[in-house]
Structure 1
Amino acid sequence: MSISSFVSAWVQNNRETIRGWRRHLHRNPELSHMETATTEFILTTLREAGLDPRALPSTGATVDIGPKDAPLIAFRGDIDALPLEEATGLDFSSQNPGVMHACGHDIHTVIVLALACGLAAFVEEHGADAMPVQVRCIYQPAEEVMDGGAVEVIEAGALRDVQSIYAVHCEPKLRTGEIGVRTGPITSASDVVEIILRGHGGHTSRPHLTSDLVYAAGLIITQLPGLLTRRLDPRSGTVVVFGAVNGGSTFNAIPQEVCLLGTFRTAQVGVWRQGQQILTELLEQIVAPTGADMEIRYTKGVPPVTNDDVATAMIAQAVKDRDPYALREAPQSTGGEDFSWYLEHVPGSMARLGAWDGKGEKPDLHQPDIVFDERAIGVGIRMFAGVIDQFHGKAEEGGRGGEL
């Protein structure tokens, strides 16, 4: 029996337990860097399965399963929630006011948790040497914040000896059962840009006696995006968008300070590495004729998630082995994801896990009324088990088993 067939049967036999894990986590979400109860739940569940997990320095955990002398691969699930007030009306809605799993991290966590427990059962029945690889399951905190948890997890040694790493992200734009894959960039880098303009203010009837910071801000907003397309390859998917512009308080006074706040996004790692320098050069050239003083506060975010071709092919084959009609090409997203930090060290791939039940409009992530289809959990577990099977080429067709 292949690992994917064994895990599929284990999921079928334990579907109510797995569903209960997800609902417990959804009911008890915790914000980034504060996932203490979530971590304890993960550790307890893994220990009850006969495993020996390791708590990470702050929150989060890892656990290894399988032969210690075999190649090591990793699966990552993120465990933090968002600062949103839930409005789903589910009977297992968040009990923590102002905190909600609105990005599917409870589902990601349970997929990797169930995978570990299913593999533990496989090892107990067939022995560790029946696994072609050793598996490390990583339960990562703080994906939703700029000072993301991936760097902290890597510094704690979670990637030591790992040869490749895999992850999923819930995708409410795909029907449950479908899985989207993409070689190369699947998300974008996301940096925060704050521009502060200062200068002489004055009466709007005499702009020539001022630096006219509102006019300078207008030049930045209208000229910067176009100039970027002349300095950078437009195929890189690079874009600057401002979400806040603040300055002035009345119609007839030019202010002494104007602030712009936005994001710099790109799909190419090389562009991301030089983005701050290029942006600074262009801003200085735009603002110079106005006479305004400028301060640029640039906060580096995460690089793009750039999927390795071999790792992506292994996910794709695992999907096709289960259901040849389930595979989709995922679009390149302009959102950011700190799974990218792992891929700076080892090859790997993130897939999009369909989580739309096919009823009503397709929702969007990070919304207080979003509801994910729980059947996606079983799909994700089986896909990861299928990836493990790719390492010895014994994945079996059929035997899909029941969905959660």
Structure 2
Amino acid sequence: MNDPQPAERAPFATADRPGRDLRARVRVYEAELIAFRRDLHRHPELGRQEFRTTRLIKERLVRAGLAPQVLPGGTGMTVDIVPAGTPAGTPLLAFRADIDALPIDDAKTEVPYRSTLPGRAHACGHDVHTTVVLGTALLLAEAARTGELRQPVRLIFQPAEEVMPGGALDVIKAGGMAGVGRIFAVHCDPKVEVGRIGLRVGAITSACDRLLLTLDGPGGHTARPHLTTDLVTAIARMAADLPGLFARRMDPRWGASLVFGRIAAGSAPNVVPQHAELEGTVRCLELAGWREAPEVLDELIGRVAETHRAKWALDYHRGVPPVVNEQESIDRLERAMQDRFAAGSTGPVVEDTEQSLGGEDFSWYLEHAPGALARLGVRAPHEKGVRDLHQGRFDADERAIGIGVELFCSLALGPAEA
């Protein structure tokens, strides 16, 4: 994939029409970006195994004259584009892409770019996210050379978004948020038609944690349960009572939910077991509830366990906090989208979106800088039904790539942070 020849390039702007020709510049790269996305789709890699993906991104950025820095783990990278004369300490505007795939089969048989690896598929749109941020890097590298870019930008290609608590922490540990003043990302949404984005101020995803509760006792005979700890009854009471007790202890406005998916105890009908397990998830719509949940569960489990004389241990795995979109960042996204795409559109280009109960590790970045996650429409107008995320038949209308690139470039080429 080579840079377009100079004769093919349209200017980013004219003196009286700043940014007017951005769309033409995006179109120059459109075929290359679609081919790049299809290559990633054919060769999906799981979290922290994205070595080929990382190599391809790095090679393309280097050909564009950029100097990407691969993360210490060998997958994922950051790359800065700093216009000449930028004062030291100027906040960076960041754009993030996640580059990993899911451990599921690609069920699409009608497309030539379906996954070539059994049990691996880009069924969440990360190949689209990656291509959008790559395209943004290519265009902004040109804009920096021509003097159009007036603020420093960081492009983040993050590994392991699907591996909780998420590869965002790898980026942050490596210094990837140092100097960032604001950060944006998009996530494919098959419910939103291509050409539109979904926006929401405040929490747009939920927190999602995992827990494993173990109970232990001396064991015994079912003829004499009073002489031992009846772990089957104890673990059953935990499964039945804890969700309700938890809900009553948490502020209902937080939308906290405890749901168990696995219970195990015993191996014979006349033996009281010595060990029992209960496993499930905690989801929470608000950051305050996410922070309070482990302490509340510790207290409640202790009370129930004491009633049954059971020894207990809680292995609580932090997942991710909710993504909480900042008002100013959402306003910027909406203005950029309306300015770029509203004229001549047959319908709205921005729509309200609901909060999802899914987790997204973009939330970790928002602990360090304000920002927002937008839902990028990828549903073809003619398509009946919805190919949902994390399903083997998921696919995206590839026109969304150019829309995402133009949206991000509009944000970067607009007014710099005050």
Contact persistence 1:3–1:388 (CA under 8 A): no
Structure 2: tracts of 5 or more residues without a match? 1-12, 343-347
TM-score (norm. length: structure 1)? 0.91
Matches of 1:368 and 1:254, distance apart in 2: 43
Deviation readout 1:294-334 (Å, 9 max, x if unpaired): 11111112211111111111112112223341111121111
**Correspondence 1:220 to 2:268:** no
Q: How does 1:353-392 map to 2 (within 5 A)?
A: 353-358=376-381, 359-391=383-415
Q: How does 1:163-242 map to 2 (within 5 A)?
A: 163-204=181-222, 206-242=224-260
Match among 56, 62, 65 for residue 47 of structure 1: 62
Which is further off, 273-282 or 220-229? Answer: 220-229
Q: How does 1:275-354 map to 2 (within 5 A)?
A: 275-324=293-342, 325-354=348-377
Contact persistence 2:211–2:314 (CA under 8 A): yes
Contact persistence 1:170–1:353 (CA under 8 A): yes
Find the counterpart in structure 2 of residue 266 from structure 1.
284
Q: Call closer, same or farther: CA 1:7–1:42 in 2, change over 3 Å.
A: farther
Superposition RMSD in Å? 2.0
Aligned-residue offset at 1:46:
1.0
Matches of 1:147 and 1:88, distance apart in 2: 29
Deviation readout 1:210-260 (Å, 9 max, x if unpaired): 432222222222222222222111110111111211222344544322211
Find the counterpart in structure 2 of residue 402 from structure 1.
none
Matches of 1:10 and 1:118, distance apart in 2: 7
Matches of 1:388 and 1:138, distance apart in 2: 14
**Correspondence 1:87 to 2:87:** no
Matches of 2:19 and 2:354, distance apart in 1: 27
Contact persistence 1:245–1:259 (CA under 8 A): yes
Q: Call closer, same or farther: CA 1:304–1:339 in 2, change over 3 Å.
A: same
Matches of 2:411 and 2:259, distance apart in 1: 38
Find the counterpart in structure 1 of residue 45 from structure 2.
30
Deviation readout 1:92-127 (Å, 9 max, x if unpaired): 111223221111110000000001101122333x32
Which is further off, 152-161 or 36-45? Answer: 152-161
Q: Call closer, same or farther: CA 1:204–1:93 in 2, change over 3 Å.
A: same
Deviation readout 1:336-369 (Å, 9 max, x if unpaired): 1111111101111111111222412212211122
TM-score (norm. length: structure 2)? 0.88
Find the counterpart in structure 2 of residue 77 from structure 1.
97
Aligned-residue offset at 1:273:
1.9
Match among 112, 117, 122 for residue 138 of structure 2: 117
Find the counterpart in structure 1 of residue 25 from structure 2.
10
Which is further off, 283-292 or 104-113? Answer: 283-292
Aligned-residue offset at 1:202:
4.3
Matches of 2:363 and 2:165, distance apart in 1: 13
Which is further off, 29-38 or 210-219? Answer: 210-219
Q: How does 1:125-140 map to 2 (within 5 A)?
A: 126-127=146-147, 130-140=148-158
One-letter code aligned to 2:317: T
Aligned-residue offset at 1:391:
1.9
Matches of 1:257 and 1:363, distance apart in 2: 42
Q: Call closer, same or farther: CA 1:3–1:17 in 2, change over 3 Å.
A: farther
Aligned-residue offset at 1:198:
1.7
Matches of 1:262 and 1:28, distance apart in 2: 32
Contact persistence 1:199–1:256 (CA under 8 A): yes
Q: Call closer, same or farther: CA 1:118–1:232 in 2, change over 3 Å.
A: same
Find the counterpart in structure 2 of residue 63 from structure 1.
79
Identity %: 45
Count of residue correspondences: 390
Aligned-residue offset at 1:195:
0.3
Contact persistence 1:141–1:150 (CA under 8 A): yes
